[in-house]
Amino acid sequence: MMEINGRTRTCGLIGNPVEHTMSPAIHNTLAEALGENLVYVPFHVPEGHVEEAVQGAWALNLLGCNVTVPYKSRVIPFLREIDPLAELIGAVNTLVRTKDGFKGYNTDMPGLYRAMCEDGVKIQGERALILGAGGVARAVAMLLAQKGAEQIVILNRTVEKACRIAEEVNGIFGRAAVTPMALSDYAKLPSDGKYLAVQATSIGMYPKVENAVIEDPAFYQKIHTGYDLIFNPARTRFMSLVEENGGRAFNGLKMLLYQGIIAYELWTGAQVDEPLAKRAYEAMKKAMGLE
């Protein structure tokens, strides 16, 4: 057990709610393993107090913070600087202390990419589907386009939202990478080859674990790999349907792990190798009661 003393640095999580966060399990495991005099704690920030939270974290000499819902975009005006990727995505989940204030980063998408690489999932040249058209889906579309997916189809109930993301991403990357499609039109997807699919909605999240955006097995027969960004439950209805129809399926737990690891590396300058990443992963699963 590490000793807390006058030299202990603090990192934390700004959000509302924060009671169910798994981040302390990741960061405190890393700090202990690397011999860093650092502790990580969650901070519940009430609605309307984001600016004071950022100023308070700075005044209290915090080394850095993670930011979770609903403040990932709202925190941006109170930062000294923002990393280009976070600016592109329009959301910040990591604050890193600089000499003049906090710099905002987004480690969610690099975390997802690192998780995909670890799971042996490639993006370059792939045909991809994204279920949903919220902020997370937008960020996933940016990642897939940046990493060279050949085609990206966004399926959403409100097709206008998918259109807006497609227009924006295609404009940024200068190619017609993203196609919007109404969710109800999923049967029109070509069957010549299979897709990488990312489930970016909250459907199927605990406690409504029996739900999936699409139930039709014919849809899942078109998927070779399904990524559900939900991590509670660890096995979602979407994942079951992918596997039942011959595909591989993953949840969002490794994305959560690697976004945390990348944040930790930004704060401390440490390099987290795979054995240590696995140790943090086990600590996180234990904290979730998944062992």
Residues labelled as active-site residues: 72
Three-class SS state of 196: strand
Please say whether the beta carbons of 149 and 177 come within 8 A: yes
Question: CA-to-CA distance for 118 and 248, rounded, in angstroms?
Answer: 14
CA 40/CA 20 separation, integer angstroms? 14
Distances (CA, A) of 149 to 173, 190, 195, 223, 277: 12, 17, 11, 15, 27
Those residues whose C-beta lies under 8 Å from the C-beta of residue 290, and which sit 6 or more positions away, are 234
| DSSP state, residue 150 | S
Residue 275 vs residues 17, 36, 279: alpha-carbon distances, Å: 31, 17, 6
Task: Provide the residue type at 186 as one letter.
Answer: Y
- As a whole number of angstroms, the distance between CA 79 and CA 150 comes to 35
**CA atoms 40, 285, 261, 43: torsion sign:** negative
* Element of type H or E holding 218: helix 217-220
DSSP 65: E
